[in-house]
Amino acid sequence: MASNTIYLTESGYQKLKEELDHMRSVERPAISAMIAEARDKGDLSENAEYDAAREAQGMLEMRIAKLEDTIANARIIDESKIDTSKVQILNKVTLKNHNTGKTVEYTLVSEKEANLKEGKLAISTPIAKALLGKKKGERVDVTVPAGVIHFEILDISI
């Protein structure tokens, strides 16, 4: 697997570890039990249950391997050392959308932690890319599929 460094918060890292533990301790044994049960039903060459259980096992092992790779390449960001003089990952940015007149607030996070409902914007999105390195008071024009959005950075915090 590719070894790209992934920056996470402590809580994001713990969430991934819990997900991995759940896959290993709950999902993996459940699939093993399904395979054993299907194997007990006889001829494996025409056993759809066995084939489905083996495929589910393959998919789970792939997800486990991907998560292990993510965790191995994760770097936890020390939130106490985050600079708020310019926009960077883990900053909470308050923006005024000049197209709509509304104020929005986003926290820039890694792709693994992104959740727009919680205001967590992936660092790889067009808006986040346009904001990186900008300072409070600057205006930023972001080209998105719907057109151009004009933002003003009102605040940068942690």
Report whether pLDDT(2) > 70: no
Rounded Cα gap, residues 142 and 90, in angstroms: 20
Report whether pLDDT(27) > 80: yes
Number of structural domains, the chain? 2
Q: Tell me the pLDDT tens digit for each residue of 92-146.
A: 999 999 889 999 999 998 888 888 899 999 989 999 999 999 999 999 998 888 8
Domain stop point among 31, 55, 76: 76
Report whether pLDDT(57) > 90: yes
Angle at 33 (CA atoms; ends 30, 65), nearest 5 degrees: 50
What CATH number does the domain containing 94 carry? 3.10.50.30
Residues 55 and 87 in one domain: no
- What's the pLDDT score for residue 1? 42
Give domain status of residue 1, yes or no.
no
Residues 102 and 41 in one domain: no
- Containing structural domain, residue 83: 79-157
> Burial of 92 by CB count in 10 Å (0-12 exposed, 13-18 middle, 19+ buried)?
middle
